[in-house]
């Protein structure tokens, strides 16, 4: 790739063919995302500069990105950024790359959260959910927590990056431990680890080899975190407030059952994602009369 002068369109087409020959999906899109990151432009702006000759330092950097991608490093870890709703977030291998499905968790939270409500993003990772809520629910009091100190560093940096540093209170600890004795929440939203332990080895290499297993491993049946949250959440939600749990494919009914078994949770229902797959299980903390 180096050693000759490259026109932008030629290097893109060449790389797309190369990625496709190696079995990478969306080869052209990935080639474009990596090149846009090298050139510091938006992906669609590449289309306005197809004739642009690339500097040898740009070609060398692109070649390094392509090499990493062939080792199945996710594009977002190579470029260091991931898009989520209206935000561009920093991502490192300390945090899960936020997924488009998780945007539904934010949609449901925005629908159910009272205007100046107090909301907790439990298992916050990169801070994608908490920061979106801070941005899109301007009067909300947003709190976020994760057990990983390294993930929280990334989340806090994202708060700075998005101009929302003052809007989110960050805590490090095991699930609800940081909130014993604190004011209850109007809504708790969580996207906990939910992959069955034995399925981890079968995940795509991008996930299995690069994303943090602490963010993925949901125990023997994938439901370990849901079980704990179902038992503990009602202590931290005001009566009538909401618990929202993102679930993996095929987990909706099992998580619905877990929440329905709690005498302190009520009105359990499932919300689908844009592909009509059950994605968010919703429950309310019982009031004394319910």
Ligand X SMILES: C[S@@+](CC[C@H](N)C(=O)[O-])C[C@H]1O[C@@H](n2cnc3c(N)ncnc32)[C@H](O)[C@@H]1O
Q: Quick one: CA torsion of 74, 151, 61, 33, rounded to 10 degrees?
A: 50
The answer to whether 121 and 133 have CB atoms below 8 angstroms apart is yes
Residue from 74, 98, 222, 248 that binds ligand X (CB under 6 A)?
98
Of 100 and 205, the one with the shorter C-beta distance to ligand X is 100
Region for 187 from its dihedrals, namely left if φ exceeds 0, alpha if ψ lies in -120 to 50, beta otherwise = beta
Sheet holding 168-172, edge to edge: 168-172, 141-146, 118-122, 185-190, 237-246, 278-285, 265-272
Q: How far is the CB of 79 from ligand X (least distance, A)?
A: 17
Of 150 and 286, the one with the shorter C-beta distance to ligand X is 150
In 71-164, which residue ranges form alpha helices assigned H by DSSP? Answer: 75-79, 102-112, 128-136, 149-161
Q: Which of 215, 266, 257, 260 minimizes the C-alpha distance to 237?
A: 266
Residues 123-162 that bind ligand X (CB under 6 A): 123-126, 128-129, 146-148, 151
Q: Does 222 bind ligand X (CB under 6 A)?
A: no
Q: How far is the CB of 244 from ligand X (least distance, A)?
A: 12
Residue from 117, 192, 241, 252 that binds ligand X (CB under 6 A)?
192
Q: How far is the CB of 121 from ligand X (least distance, A)?
A: 6
Distance (Å, whole) CA 130 – CA 136? 10
Q: What is the DSSP letter of 82?
A: E
Of 124 and 258, the one with the shorter C-beta distance to ligand X is 124
Centre a 10 Å sphere on the Cβ of residue 17 and count the other Cβ atoms it contains: 13
Strands (DSSP E) found in the chain: 81-84, 87-90, 118-122, 141-146, 168-172, 185-190, 237-246, 265-272, 278-285
Stretch that binds ligand X, among 69-77, 121-129, 232-240, 251-259 (CB under 6 A): 121-129
Residue from 9, 81, 110, 214 that binds ligand X (CB under 6 A)?
214
Backbone phi, psi, residue 171, to 5°: -135, 145
Q: Does 251 bind ligand X (CB under 6 A)?
A: no
Q: Does 281 bind ligand X (CB under 6 A)?
A: no
Q: Quick one: CA torsion of 266, 124, 215, 229, rounded to 10 degrees?
A: -20
Of 125 and 159, the one with the shorter C-beta distance to ligand X is 125
The answer to whether 151 and 124 have CB atoms below 8 angstroms apart is yes
Of 117 and 125, the one with the shorter C-beta distance to ligand X is 125
Stretch that binds ligand X, among 13-21, 96-104, 131-139, 256-264 (CB under 6 A): 96-104
| Residue window 162-181: x/- pattern of binding to ligand X, with contact defined by CB under 6 A | ------------xx------
Of 151 and 255, the one with the shorter C-beta distance to ligand X is 151
| Residue window 56-95: x/- pattern of binding to ligand X, with contact defined by CB under 6 A | ----------------------------------------
Distance (Å, whole) CA 275 – CA 98? 17
Q: Which residues bind ligand X (CB under 6 A)?
A: 96, 98, 102, 123-126, 128-129, 146-148, 151, 174-175, 191-193, 214-215
């Amino acid at each position: 790739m180096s050693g000759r002068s490259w026109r932008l369109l030629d290097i893109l087409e060449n790389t797309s063919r190369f990625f496709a020959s190696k079995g990478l999906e969306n080869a052209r899109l990935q080639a474009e995302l990596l090149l846009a990151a090298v050139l510091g432009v938006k992906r669609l702006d590449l289309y306005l500069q197809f004739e642009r000759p690339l500097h040898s330092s740009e070609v060398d950097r692109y070649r390094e990105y392509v090499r990493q991608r062939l080792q199945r490093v996710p594009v977002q870890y190579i470029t260091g950024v991931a898009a989520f709703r209206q935000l561009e977030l920093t991502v490192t291998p300390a945090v899960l790359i936020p997924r488009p499905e998780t945007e539904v968790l934010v949609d449901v939270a925005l629908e159910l959260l009272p205007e100046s409500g107090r909301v907790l993003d439990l298992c916050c990772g990169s801070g994608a959910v908490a920061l979106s809520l801070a941005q899109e629910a301007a009067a909300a009091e947003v709190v976020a927590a994760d057990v990983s100190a390294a993930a929280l560093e990334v989340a806090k940096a994202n708060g700075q990056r998005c101009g929302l540093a003052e809007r989110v209170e960050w805590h490090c600890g095991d699930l609800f431990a940081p909130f014993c004795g604190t004011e209850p929440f109007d809504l708790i939203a969580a996207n906990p680890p939910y992959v069955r332990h034995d399925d981890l080895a079968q995940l795509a290499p991008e996930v299995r080899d690069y994303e943090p297993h602490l963010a993925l491993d949901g125990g023997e049946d994938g439901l370990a975190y849901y079980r704990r949250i179902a038992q503990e959440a009602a202590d931290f939600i005001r009566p009538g407030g909401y618990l929202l749990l993102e679930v993996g494919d095929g987990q909706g009914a099992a998580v619905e059952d877990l929440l329905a078994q709690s005498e302190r949770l009520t009105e359990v229902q499932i919300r689908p994602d844009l592909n009509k797959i059950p994605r968010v299980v919703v429950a309310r903390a019982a009031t004394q009369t319910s």
